[in-house]
Amino acid sequence: MVFAKELKQALMNSNNSSFNDETCMMMLNMFDKTKTGRVDVFGFSALWTFLQQWRAVFQQFDRDRSGSINSNEMHQALSQMGYNLSPQFIQELVNRYSARGVNRVLQLDRFIQVCTQLQSMTQAFREKDTAMTGNVRMSYEDFLSGAITRLM
Amino acid sequence: MAYHNQYRPPHYNSAPPDQGFLWNIFQRVDKDRSGAISDTELQQALSNGTWTPFNPVTVRSIISMFDRENKGGVNFNEFAGVWKYISDWQNIFRTYDKDNSGFIDKNELKQALTGFGEFVIIVIFYDSQNHRQCCLFLFFNPLLTDVFRRYDTDQDGWIQVSYEQYLSMVFNVV
């Protein structure tokens, strides 16, 4: 059984910082099938595969081999994944999620966090935008329930 | 109106605590003696048995609500607000935790939701034994409500947004 604390200790970024709390919690939630706050051996196997896949993507787009992804590299990564987002938005996203006190770049943990949340938020948006217009009308409750999904 | 002012816990108003008592607590929480309590210091304080542990997103929401100078922490005056806010919500939590288990189960939650008459969010967090628990995630509302309000120009509880605007709202990028 792997606990949140152990997970955090086991996972590190290329700059030797440990994975941030949000990413650890997010992955635990995703792979904790027993709903007990820990991951069993099957869940861990799936989590590990998940990590390796994202690490491969990360390395593919870390063109300058800096060990981190900047706004340009993020734009290319997201385009490749099929997202159509403005450079300004991506810049703001990278700024917002980069670790405090460092350059505006994403380490692996935050890269995984942003990409995974982008996926679920896009899914939430698509469910409302049935006509595929790129615009939705939503109520306050719609908005809040979409945001909860992001946390869980 | 689809939402209410959520900066104050509804139906509850506790008496302000003794200043000396509060200062004592503040000093203990402000471990590096910087004069302000950071996210990390608050989270550690909340994990040390006084209250059940809070998740970092919750801690960030609380600090940003009371941090008037955008300094990434709260000074003593602001901390008084934090303390009251958490105590008020904790007392409401206890009101709905009928069996005193320390958690609110589905039935208790149903009553709580009806009681508040406004949107309450559940979040999952882990306690010190790493058991997954559910807690009324009452602190997150104000930030999201704020973001929503900015787009709801006619204040009718509905907005029209593009894909990127929606993402910005949820990521709190804007």
Q: Which residues are within 8 A (CB) of A79 and not within 5 positions of it... i.e. 6 or more apart?
A: none
Closest CA to B81 of B173, B134, B7, B167: B7
Residue B116 has pLDDT above 70, yes or no: no
As a whole number of angstroms, the distance between CA A54 and CA B158 comes to 37
Other beta carbons within 10 angstroms of residue A126's beta carbon come to 12
- At B59-112, the pLDDT tens digits run 777 788 788 888 889 999 999 988 887 776 666 666 666 666 655 555 555 454
Structure token pair of residue A100: 């405090």
Predicted confidence at residue A41, as pLDDT, reads 82
User: Which of residues B43 and A118 earns the better pLDDT score?
Assistant: A118
Q: B13 falls in which pLDDT band (50, 70, 90)? A: low
- Which among A4, A122, A147 is the nearest to B126, CB-wise? A4
Residues spanned by the domain of B58: 19-140
Mutate to test the interface with A, among B42, B149, B170 (most CBs of A within 10 A): B170
Predicted confidence at residue B134, as pLDDT, reads 41
- Which among B122, B157, B161 is the nearest to A140, CB-wise? B157
- Which among B127, B166, B171 is the nearest to A125, CB-wise? B166
- Which among A28, A89, A137 is the nearest to B168, CB-wise? A89
Determine contact, residues B144/B67, Cβ cutoff 8 Å: no
Q: What type of residue is A145?
A: S
Predicted confidence at residue A105, as pLDDT, reads 94
B157 assigned to some structural domain: no
The answer to whether the Cβ–Cβ distance between B121 and A85 falls below 8 Å is no
Question: What residue of B is the nearest CA neighbor of A3?
Answer: B130
Instruction: Report chain A residues touching chain B, CB-CB < 8 A.
Output: 3-5, 21-22, 25, 28-29, 32, 35-38, 85-86, 89, 92-93, 96, 100, 117-118, 121-122, 125, 129, 134-141, 143-144, 146-148, 150-152
Predicted confidence at residue B76, as pLDDT, reads 94
Determine contact, residues A79/A60, Cβ cutoff 8 Å: no
| Three-class DSSP category at B140 | coil
B31 assigned to some structural domain: yes
Q: Quick check: ipTM above 0.95?
A: no
Predicted confidence at residue A72, as pLDDT, reads 96
The overall average pLDDT reported for chain B is: 68
Asked whether the CA dihedral A107, A112, A115, A121 is positive or negative, the reply is negative
Q: Total domain count for chain B?
A: 1
Instruction: Going from the first residue of chain A to its last (152 residues), give the mean pLDDT of each consecutive group of 10, the final group possibly shorter.
Output: 70 86 80 71 86 94 94 96 95 88 87 91 89 90 65 46
Predicted confidence at residue B73, as pLDDT, reads 93
As a whole number of angstroms, the distance between CA B142 and CA A37 comes to 27
The answer to whether the Cβ–Cβ distance between B166 and A121 falls below 8 Å is yes
Residue ranges per structural domain of chain A: 2-151
As a whole number of angstroms, the distance between CA B89 and CA B12 comes to 8
What's the CATH number where B119 sits? Answer: 1.10.238.10
Closest CA to B126 of A36, A121, A131: A36
Question: What residue of A is the nearest CA neighbor of B4?
Answer: A140
As a whole number of angstroms, the distance between CA A57 and CA A111 comes to 10
Element housing B42 (H / E): helix B39-47
Minimum distance, in Å, between the CA of residue B173 and any CA atom of chain A = 6
Determine contact, residues B76/B26, Cβ cutoff 8 Å: yes
Out of A40-49, B44-53, B86-95, B125-134, give the one with best mean pLDDT. Answer: A40-49
Predicted confidence at residue B121, as pLDDT, reads 41
Out of A49-53, B6-10, B123-127, B136-140, give the one with best mean pLDDT. Answer: A49-53
User: Residue B99, exposed/middle/buried by CB under 10 A (0-12, 13-18, 19+)?
Assistant: exposed
B40 assigned to some structural domain: yes
CATH class entry, domain A2-151: mainly alpha
Predicted confidence at residue B35, as pLDDT, reads 94
Residues 70-89 of B with CB under 8 A from A: 72
Average pLDDT score over residue span B120-124: 40
DSSP one-letter string for chain A: -EEHHHHHHH-B-TTSPBPPHHHHHHHHHHH-TTSSSEE-HHHHHHHHHHHHHHHHHHHHH-TT--SSB-HHHHHHHHHHTT----HHHHHHHHHHHSPTTS-S-B-HHHHHHHHHHHHHHHHHHHHH-TT--SEEEEEHHHHHHHHHHHH-
Predicted confidence at residue B139, as pLDDT, reads 37
Predicted confidence at residue A26, as pLDDT, reads 80
Is the Cβ of B157 closer than 8 Å to some Cβ of chain A? yes
The answer to whether the Cβ–Cβ distance between B159 and A143 falls below 8 Å is yes
- What residues of A are in contact with residue B159 (Cβ under 8 Å)? 137-138, 143
Is the Cβ of B124 closer than 8 Å to some Cβ of chain A? yes
